Structure 1
Amino acid sequence: MNSEKIAILADSGCDVPDELLKADNFYTIPLKIIYKDGDYTDKVDITAEEIYAKLPTEIPKTSLPEGSVINDLFEKIAACGFEKVIVVTISSGLSGTFNSVRLAAANFKSLEIFMLDTKNIGIGAGVQAVHAAELVNSGASFDEITQKLTDDITKSKIFFNVATLEYLQKGGRIGLVTSILGNALKLNPIISCNDDGVYYIVAKSRGRKKSLEKSVQLVKEFIGNHQKFRLVVAHGGALEEGLEIVETLKNMFPHAIEVLFGQISPALVVHTGPGLIGLGAQILD
Structure 2
Amino acid sequence: MEKIALISDSTCDLNEEFIKKYDIKILNLKIIYKDKEYIDKVDITPQQVYDNLKVEVPHTSLPSVADMHDLFYKLESEGYTHAIAIPIGSGLSGTYNTLKLAASEHTDLNITVFDSKSLTLGAGALVIGCGEMIKNGKSYDEIVSALPQMRDNISVYYIVDTLEYLIKGGRIGKVSGTLGQLLNIKPIISINDEGIYYTYCKVRGKKQAKSKLMDIIQENLNNTKAKVWVMHGGAYEEGKLFYDSLKDNPNISYLGFGDISPVAGVHTGPGLVGVVIEKEPLV
* Residue of structure 1 equivalent to 2:240: 243
Choose from 85, 88, 91 the match for 2:89: 91
* Residue of structure 1 equivalent to 2:262: 266
Deviation at 1:24, TM superposition (A): 6.6
Return 5+ residue gaps in structure 1 as ranges. Answer: none
* Residue of structure 1 equivalent to 2:106: 108
Deviation at 1:42, TM superposition (A): 0.5
Letter in 1 for 2:146: K
Deviation at 1:74, TM superposition (A): 1.0
* Residue of structure 1 equivalent to 2:126: 128
Q: Does 1:67 align with 2:65?
A: yes
Letter in 2 for 1:280: V
Measure, in 2, the Cα distance between the counterparts of 1:184 and 1:110.
55
Tell me if structure 2 keeps the 8 A contact 1:48–1:264. Answer: yes
* Residue of structure 1 equivalent to 2:80: 82
Tell me if structure 1 keeps the 8 A contact 2:175–2:198. Answer: yes
Return 5+ residue gaps in structure 2 as ranges. Answer: none
* Residue of structure 2 equivalent to 1:163: 161
Q: Secondary structure at the match of 1:129?
A: helix
Measure, in 1, the Cα distance between the counterparts of 2:105 and 2:263.
27
1:253-279 alpha-carbon deviations (Å, 9 max, x no partner): 234221121110000000000000111
1:42-57 mapped onto 2 (5 Å cutoff): 42-57=40-55
1:143-190 alpha-carbon deviations (Å, 9 max, x no partner): 111111122212111101100000000001010112343344221111
Q: Percent identity?
A: 42
Tell me if structure 2 keeps the 8 A contact 1:7–1:26. Answer: yes
Q: Scaled by the length of structure 1, what TM-score is found?
A: 0.95
Measure, in 1, the Cα distance between the counterparts of 2:47 and 2:276.
24
Q: Scaled by the length of structure 2, what TM-score is found?
A: 0.95
1:104-125 alpha-carbon deviations (Å, 9 max, x no partner): 0001111111111011111111
Choose from 198, 210, 213 the match for 1:212: 210
Tell me if structure 2 keeps the 8 A contact 1:91–1:120. Answer: yes
Measure, in 1, the Cα distance between the counterparts of 2:97 and 2:176.
27
Deviation at 1:46, TM superposition (A): 1.0
Choose from 230, 247, 250 the match for 2:227: 230
* Residue of structure 2 equivalent to 1:40: 38
Query: What is the RMSD computed on CA atoms of the aligned residues?
Result: 1.4
Letter in 2 for 1:70: M
Measure, in 2, the Cα distance between the counterparts of 1:186 and 1:264.
24
Q: Secondary structure at the match of 1:191?
A: strand
Deviation at 1:218, TM superposition (A): 1.4
